[in-house]
Amino acid sequence: MTGDIAEAMKSIGAGVAIGLGSLGPALGIGMLASKAMESLGRNPEAAGPIQQNMILAIAFAEAIAIYALVVAIIIKFV
């Protein structure tokens, strides 16, 4: 019985870790893309630098979500 409860708590912990860990990057990417599209609408000539910086920032935000996934996997299987 104790092992079942521990396994259930691990599953809940992994779910919370990936849920909360992906919430921040998801909001960040949405806000970043919104502002990038807004700035492209205002200044279409600056499309190259804006797009380059946007893709770089999205990659950094995705890295944080991947860290959350790794933590969730460690919680689940260790």
If pLDDT is split at 50, 70 and 90, which confidence band does 3 have? confident
Give the pLDDT confidence of 7-35 residue by residue, as tens digits: 999 999 999 999 999 999 999 999 999 99
Domains of the chain: residue spans and CATH: 2-77 (1.20.20.10)
Task: Return mean pLDDT, the chain.
Answer: 92
Instruction: Give the span between the Cα atoms of 64 and 3, in whole angstroms.
Output: 31
C-beta of residue 50 within 8 angstroms of C-beta of residue 39: yes
CB 75 within 8 A of CB 17: yes
- Residue 51: both structure tokens together: 């797009």
Amino acid type, 57: A
pTM, rounded to two decimals: 0.77
Taking the C-alpha atoms of residue 47 and residue 15, their distance in angstroms, rounded to an integer, is 38
